[in-house]
Amino acid sequence: MNEVISQLISLQKIDLHLDTIDNEIKQKQDALDQQSAMLTQRESDIDDLHEQINTLEKERRTLDLEMSEDLAHVKSRQSKMMQVQTGREQTALLKEIEDGKRSIKEKEEKIVAIMEEVESLTAQITRQQELLQEEAKSLTAETAKTKETIETIAKTKQGQSSKRQKHASEVEGKLLNKYNILRERRKGLAVVNVLGGVCQGCFMSIPPQQYNILLRGDRHLDCPVCQRIIYYQAPENQE
Ligand SMILES: [Zn+2]
């Protein structure tokens, strides 16, 4: 195999390793972000529950106020009963008193329903806060663990990066440029083997004439389909 090809293969091997490292770091970070987002969501759920309780309590205060007005009205009608003379006036007052009492009863029922709802919402808040505490604790632990893991991975990355620099400096400038561009455009794979006349990057057949050139093992070409740098290496020697 020619020197240039083996340089490129070594370089790509390091680059693929670096990609794996970056992916690993990203995955760890993403998992943490997801956990953190869950926490934020729960906090916002708790805020919503508080907001619901506030609305209900406001409603209750209004009902309380209206109820005491009803009560005062009923009382004033009751005392007026002593003064009225005619049966007609009495009937009218009695109706007002009955209406007032019914209105009070309705409001009382509403207030009881509101109190029950507030109680249920408060229980939900307690449960959510317990969960939030557990999750916050777990997130803190996970953050520390992830930080440590990422630091370890980053050290490996540093080693690989300097190795990469050394290998890259051995590749001729123009070819290195081409390699870098290909890696960017071809999902990290710039240099590929051709097996049985098929490019292992795009899995398309290459013309037999070009394949014959590659089979000699001393040259590299560009895949006519995906433009990757192609070479030939017998399968048993493959790493
Ligand atoms: Zn190809």
pLDDT score recorded for residue 178: 97
Q: What's the angle, vertex CA 221, arms to CA 170 and CA 185, rounded to 5? A: 75
87: which 2 tokens?
Answer: 């049966």
35: which 2 tokens?
Answer: 């956990």
137-176 tens-digit pLDDT: 999 999 999 999 999 999 999 999 999 999 999 999 999 9
Count: domains in the chain: 2
Average the pLDDT over 203-223 and give the result.
94
Task: Using the mean position of ligand 1's atoms as its centre, give its distance from the Cα of residue 159 in Å.
Answer: 31
pLDDT score recorded for residue 202: 97
105-145 tens-digit pLDDT: 999 999 999 999 999 999 999 999 999 999 999 999 999 99
Task: Using the mean position of ligand 1's atoms as its centre, give its distance from the Cα of residue 18 in Å.
Answer: 23
In a domain, 30, yes or no: yes
Which residue's structure tokens are 């290195």? 176
Closest CA relative to residue 216, chosen from 199, 191, 234: 234
pLDDT score recorded for residue 238: 46
31-44 tens-digit pLDDT: 999 999 999 999 99
Question: Structure pTM?
Answer: 0.74
Q: Confidence band (pLDDT; 50, 70, 90) for 76?
A: very high
Here the CATH number for the domain that contains residue 134 is 1.10.287
Task: Using the mean position of ligand 1's atoms as its centre, give its distance from the Cα of residue 189 in Å.
Answer: 10
Average the pLDDT over 49-76 and give the result.
97
Q: How far is CA 236 from CA 195, 200, 227, 233, 239, in A?
A: 11, 15, 25, 8, 8
pLDDT score recorded for residue 237: 52
Average the pLDDT over 219-224 and give the result.
95
Average the pLDDT over 13-28 and give the result.
95
Closest CA relative to residue 219, chosen from 1, 40, 38, 22: 1
What mean pLDDT value characterizes the chain?
Answer: 95
pLDDT score recorded for residue 118: 98
Q: Confidence band (pLDDT; 50, 70, 90) for 85?
A: confident
**93 and 129 within one domain:** yes
pLDDT score recorded for residue 218: 87
177-211 tens-digit pLDDT: 999 999 999 999 999 999 999 999 999 999 999 99
Last residue of a domain, one of 158, 193, 216: 158
Task: Using the mean position of ligand 1's atoms as its centre, give its distance from the Cα of residue 214 in Å.
Answer: 14
Task: Using the mean position of ligand 1's atoms as its centre, give its distance from the Cα of residue 230 in Å.
Answer: 8
pLDDT score recorded for residue 217: 85
Helix (H, G, I), strand (E, B) or coil at 65: helix
**139 and 40 within one domain:** yes
In a domain, 57, yes or no: yes
Task: Using the mean position of ligand 1's atoms as its centre, give its distance from the Cα of residue 101 in Å.
Answer: 88
Closest CA relative to residue 32, chosen from 145, 192, 159: 145
**180 and 129 within one domain:** no
Task: Using the mean position of ligand 1's atoms as its centre, give its distance from the Cα of residue 195 in Å.
Answer: 11
Which residue's structure tokens are 């070009």? 210
The answer to whether residues 35 and 138 touch, using CB atoms and an 8 Å cutoff, is: yes
Letter for the amino acid at 171?
A: V
Phi, psi of 204 (to 5 degrees): -110, 150
> How many angstroms separate the CA atoms of 45 and 220, rounded?
61
pLDDT score recorded for residue 239: 47
**188 and 83 within one domain:** no
The answer to whether residues 206 and 230 touch, using CB atoms and an 8 Å cutoff, is: yes
**124 and 62 within one domain:** yes
Helices 3-81, 173-185: inter-axial angle, 10-degree rounding:
30
**181 and 149 within one domain:** no
**188 and 153 within one domain:** no
**148 and 100 within one domain:** yes
**Which residue range(s) make up the domain with 151?**
18-158
